[in-house]
Amino acid sequence: MTIDATNVNPAVAPTVPGNSDASRDVASYLHPYTNHATHEQTGPHIITGGDGIYVTDDAGHKLIEGMAGLWCTSLGFSEKRLVDAATKQLNILPYYHTFASKSTNPAIDLAEKLLEIVPVPMSKVFFANSGSEATDSAVKMVWYYHNAIGQPEKKKIISRKKGYHGVTVAAASMTGLPGNHKLFDLPIDRILHTETPHYWRDALPGEEEEDFATRLAEQLEDLIQAEGPETVGAFIAEPIMGAGGVIVPPRTYFEKIQEVLKRYDILFIADEVICGFGRTGRMFASETFRLKPDMITVAKQLSSAYLPISALFINEAIYQAVKKGSDEVGTFGHGFTYSGHPVAAAVALETLKIYEDDGIIEHVRSVMSPFQKRLKDLNKFEHVGETRGHGLIGAFELVSDKCAKTPFDPYGAAGKAVAAKCLEHGVILRALGDTVAFCPPLIITEDQIHTMFDAVEAALTEWHSSL
pLDDT in tens, 224-262: 999 999 999 999 999 999 999 999 999 999 999 999 999
The pLDDT assigned to 17 comes to: 73
Residue 324: pLDDT above 90? Answer: yes
Q: Are 77 and 65 in contact (CB under 8 A)?
A: yes
8 Å CB contact between 249 and 240: yes
Which amino acid belongs to residue 44? P
Q: What is the tens place of the pLDDT at every residue in 385-441?
A: 999 999 999 999 999 999 999 999 999 999 999 999 999 999 999 999 999 999 999
What's the mean pLDDT in 93-117? Answer: 98
The predicted model scores a pTM of: 0.95
Q: What is the pLDDT of residue 10?
A: 43
Percent of the chain surpassing pLDDT 90: 96
pLDDT at residue 13, as a whole number: 43
Q: How far apart are CA 38 and CA 117, in angstroms?
A: 45
Which CA distances in Å does 421 have to 21, 50, 254, 462?
A: 24, 21, 36, 8
Domain segments of the chain as ranges? 46-78+360-466, 81-357
Of the chain, the percentage scoring pLDDT greater than 70 comes to 97
DSSP annotation string for 255-300: HHHHHHHHHTT-EEEEE-TTTTTTTTSSS-HHHHTT---SEEEE-G
Q: What is the mean pLDDT of residues 16-25?
A: 86
- Please give the C-alpha separations between residue 246 and each of 100, 230, 333, 413, 444, in angstroms, as whole numbers: 40, 33, 36, 18, 19
- In tens, the pLDDT along 153-170 reads 999 999 999 999 999 999
The rounded distance, in Å, linking the Cα atoms of 247 and 386 is: 11
Mean pLDDT over 291-300 rounds to 98
* Calpha distance 3→403 (Å, rounded): 19
pLDDT band at 4 (very low <50, low <70, confident <90, very high): low
Q: Which CATH architecture has domain 46-78+360-466?
A: Alpha-Beta Complex (3.90)
**Residue 199 above 50 pLDDT?**
yes
Q: Quote the crossing angle between the two packed helices 446-466 and 413-424, to the nearest 10°.
A: 120
pLDDT band at 8 (very low <50, low <70, confident <90, very high): very low
Handedness of CA 296, 302, 306, 309 (dihedral sign): negative
Return the CATH fold of 81-357.
Answer: Aspartate Aminotransferase; domain 2 (3.40.640)
CB 293 within 8 A of CB 268: yes
- Strand 393-398 and strand 435-438: pairing? antiparallel
Whether 22 shows a pLDDT value over 80: the answer reads yes
Mean pLDDT of 268-292: 98
What are 358-390's pLDDT values in tens digits? Answer: 999 999 999 999 999 999 999 999 999 999 999
